[in-house]
Structure 1
Amino acid sequence: MSKFNNLWIWISKNGEERFKLTFKQIEDIAGIPIDHSFLTYKKELPEYGYKVGKISLKEQTVSFEKI
């Protein structure tokens, strides 16, 4: 089980084609702080029907897209 499992489940249930979450929203949903390991763990997301789009450090957002 991934440390971001709660986030992946939430995203898969969202159902939107494309959406953005702030780093704070991701931390709240996942129940853990977002850190550099997110870049490794994001490879698990396609199993849930989504992929990570753009990660904006300036805006502190991550975009997600249905695949």
Structure 2
Amino acid sequence: MTKNMGTADRTIRAIVGVVLLALVFVGPQTAWGWIGIIPLATALMGNCPAYSLIGVRTCKKQ
């Protein structure tokens, strides 16, 4: 898979993913925090399937 996410995008997604996952264990302890797996996984892979569908790239051209 080719990367279609830039550094800033990946960093923001990783932070949001960790914060959402923290909601499962700390705070309101809601199951909705498991949604944080999605932005965290896309940040680690560097590829967003939704970006691929609509043709968006936030990384520099290779």
Q: By percentage of residues, which structure has more strand?
A: 1
Q: By percentage of residues, which structure has more helix?
A: 2
Asked if Structure 1 and Structure 2 have the same fold, meaning a TM-score greater than 0.5 normalized by the shorter chain, the answer is no
TM-score by length of 2: 0.27
User: Relative contact order, CA 8 A, sep 6+: which one is greater?
Assistant: 2
